[in-house]
Structure 1
Amino acid sequence: MFGEMMLTLSLLTPVNPVLFVCDVQEKFRTAIWEFPKVISTSAKMVKAAKILNIPIFCTTQNAARLGATVQEITSLLPTDESAKTEVDKTAFSMMVPELQAQLPTNPTAALSVIVVGIETHICVTQTTLDLLAQGHRVYVLADGVSSCNAGERPIALNRLAREGAIVTTSESLLFELVRDAKDPNFKAIAGLVKETKDETKVAVETFCKL
């Protein structure tokens, strides 16, 4: 029984993690409910991805009309092109051919995809469903996604949880990624959590009560 429990726990640990930042663009600043909180959580996860050497995939939705990814995020992206992928798209799902071609492949394990961005009920939902259909594990960060209409969020998140996505928070996931205070990255991640604790508190209190 104990061995089965340990196996279950190990299967829940994120394996082959990647970060998806979905359409956090300039034109949405005044349209998306609590958009600054989406930016702050997304920025925190980009910083964490750099610490943990997690590949970052960032999309824009029709950038010619809706603008580039916000500067708060682009200024943090790695300068090493191999550590990030930026794709413009017209499809709602991030899983367009240009992005899928860049995903890391591992024949023994699926990806663990961490998703932040907008809109929860459209692009985030369709991206998550596509990833699940391909056999990947998906972590949707409740304190890092939003929609124009706040009421769309809980319906979408409940649906995604039923479909098999793991709906969690940024801080919970960060500690799940390091797992142990002996991890060589723990000090840097703990420092990031401390640095962003005020923004995280407000984001969780706002987003996770709905």
Structure 2
Amino acid sequence: MSVLRNVGRIHQKSTAFFLCDIQEKFRPHIFQYPSVVATAQKMIAAHKILDIPLIVTEQNPKALGATASELDLSQAKVNIAKTKFSMFVPEVEPHLQGIKSVVLFGIESHVCVLQTALDLLENNFDVHVLADGVSSMNSFEIEHALNRIKSAGGFVTTSESILFQIMGDSKHEKFKTISQLVKDTKEATSNNKLFLKSNI
């Protein structure tokens, strides 16, 4: 008899995107901050195209500022301030009805991203962390954080890979639009050095 394994299948109608604390005050300090923003822009565009809910948090915005100005949060389902490091806070939980998989990106890898991933995993969500969309002030923290998430049962992947996993078939009604998005963001993806720190 075969044993059922959780291989991290992801489906459009049961997925949410989590954008974690990509705030202005971090801009001069985070390793490859422009790459984090570029990946977030890609995922925000995809959330609109695929109608996937976007959950956004800001860590203590009075001290750390608002979310990066380049990021269009106009269609976010949730956009809240928090003091807890994890995004899994009471204001977010009610919006996760019917959600099985979370795609997580933002900063910092070893603090808010890690603690969000662990809380979600502990509450039986599949977690897919984007290696090209998470970073920290100290670049060496990234690899350790992603390894910790993997050891807890999370999945480390990339923005392009996850978008094609969500569609699953070239017959998907949004395939051409997502494919064009990937082409339009090719230069930013090529310049993204976060891959080198992800140890995938």
Q: TM-score range by the shorter chain?
A: over 0.9
Deviations 1:75-95 (CA, angstroms, capped at 9, x unpaired): x2244xxx5210100000001
2:61 aligns with 63
AA aligned to 1:24 is I
Aligned with residue 88 of structure 2, among 68, 77, 95: 95
For 1:198 and 1:117, the matched residues in 2 are separated by 20
Would the aligned equivalents of 1:50 and 1:78 in 2 still touch at CA under 8 Å? no
**Runs in 1 of length 4+ with deviation above 2 angstroms?**
76-79
For 1:159 and 1:65, the matched residues in 2 are separated by 28
Structure ranking higher in helix proportion: 1
For 2:131 and 2:170, the matched residues in 1 are separated by 25
Would the aligned equivalents of 2:8 and 2:126 in 1 still touch at CA under 8 Å? no
Deviation at 1:8, TM superposition (A): 6.1
2:101 aligns with 112
For 1:155 and 1:100, the matched residues in 2 are separated by 27
Deviations 1:17-46 (CA, angstroms, capped at 9, x unpaired): 100000000000001111010000011001
Task: Tell me the secondary structure at the aligned position of residue 71 of structure 1.
Answer: coil
2:121 aligns with 132
Aligned with residue 208 of structure 1, among 187, 195, 199: 195
> 1:59-208 counterparts in 2 under 5 A?
59-73=57-71, 76-79=72-75, 83-103=76-96, 105-106=97-98, 111-203=100-192, 206-208=193-195
For 1:163 and 1:19, the matched residues in 2 are separated by 20
Q: What percentage of aligned pairs have identical amino acids?
A: 47
> 1:19-38 counterparts in 2 under 5 A?
19-38=17-36
Would the aligned equivalents of 2:130 and 2:158 in 1 still touch at CA under 8 Å? yes
Task: Tell me the secondary structure at the aligned position of residue 92 of structure 2.
Answer: helix
Task: Tell me the secondary structure at the aligned position of residue 196 of structure 2.
Answer: coil
Deviation at 1:186, TM superposition (A): 0.3
Deviations 1:74-128 (CA, angstroms, capped at 9, x unpaired): xx2244xxx521010000000111111222x13xxx5210000000000000000
Deviations 1:53-92 (CA, angstroms, capped at 9, x unpaired): 000000000011110011111xx2244xxx5210100000
Moved more, 125-134 or 153-162: 153-162
Aligned with residue 13 of structure 1, among 5, 9, 12: 9
In structure 1, the gaps of 5 or more residues are none
Give the length in aligned residue pairs.
195
Deviations 1:112-160 (CA, angstroms, capped at 9, x unpaired): 1000000000000000000000000000000000000000000110111
TM-score, normalization by structure 1: 0.88
Task: Tell me the secondary structure at the aligned position of residue 177 of structure 1.
Answer: helix
AA aligned to 2:86 is S
Deviation at 1:179, TM superposition (A): 1.1
For 1:138 and 1:192, the matched residues in 2 are separated by 23
Deviation at 1:208, TM superposition (A): 1.6
